[in-house]
Amino acid sequence: MKTIIYKKIKTLLVSWLVLLSINMSFAQSQGPNSPTSANEPAAACLSCPGTDWANYSNVEHIDSLFASNAMLQHGQCFQSACYYTRALTATNYHFNIPANATITGIEVQIMKKGGFPNSIVDSLINIIFDNTPFGNSSPLVGLWSANDSLYIYGGDTSMWGYPFTPGIVNDTTFGVEFRALNMSPNQSNAYIDWIGMKVYYTLPTGVGIVSSSNDNDIIQFNATNNSLILTIEVYEEMKNPVIRVYDLLGQIKFRKELSEINAGKNIKTIPLIPMPNGIYFVELTGGSDHFTKKILINN
């Protein structure tokens, strides 16, 4: 499992459609996607231990609006007044993984912070389906930052101890279950801004349709004027971005340095040199960010 902590997240959510018809498999990914449903399953249970979450639907967006949980000092617990939280779930991520794909990894991204330094830790994080946890809980070790920070769980080869399938991943009940606890002798709050998910997979030899549901953020090829149109939303400025286009042999067919991509939504049209019809890889790099997607040129 890899662990990366950033002070601020940079996200590129991409919607793309590619026709794949080649004699080899390709590694692909969708996301990070945001949930469209958040819940506290035990909210109606008066006798269940664990502190209730407030405003838990705030985990659906990166907007500095938080789901929050006010916990008692460590070791104190009576029903919904407790030093640990009840489960918070985020589901309905709108993945659209092809049925013939093989899932190779699942990544969870959480923007969160502790109310006070050296107080809050992860208690549990599970991948869930149909309100049931599957595989292994994989909490990170260490205290939460008191600043809103990105924590990454799992990754491109992490299956969380379970053979997830496209049918499970695409289901509206697929998602994340999360709990935290207070290690401090004082009361402290846990805050969660966003819970995102990214799924890695490969396609077998043959023909498949690859698509995602993020219709507002696009890298696409415009055959009318032989150009790439990028609609990119980032949380923080992307410095020194460079776009490259590779063919299936890995040869660079096009390279262009772009002006800085500012925080927020950016739309850029990038004219290309004429290229033969076929499948190409579009790579965008800038600072520590690296994104790759496929396009089909079919003039």
What pLDDT sits at residue 3?
39
pLDDT beneath 70: ranges in the chain: 1-27, 204-225, 233-235, 249-250, 288-292, 299
Quote the longest CA-to-CA distance of the chain: 69
Per the structure block, which two tokens stand in for 7? 């002070």
Burial 49-80 (b: 16+ CB within 10 A, else e): ebbbbeebebbbebeeebbebbbbebeebeeb
Is residue 189 within 8 Å of residue 70, measured between CB atoms?
yes
Domain boundaries, the chain: 25-207, 218-297
Question: pLDDT for 27-53, tens place per residue?
Answer: 688 889 999 999 999 888 888 899 999
Q: Does domain 218-297 have CATH number 3.30.930.10?
A: no
Per the structure block, which two tokens stand in for 175? 């998602």
Per the structure block, which two tokens stand in for 174? 């697929």
Question: pLDDT for 54-81, tens place per residue?
Answer: 999 999 998 899 999 999 999 999 888 9
What CATH number has the domain spanning 25-207?
Answer: 2.60.120
pTM, 2 dp: 0.63
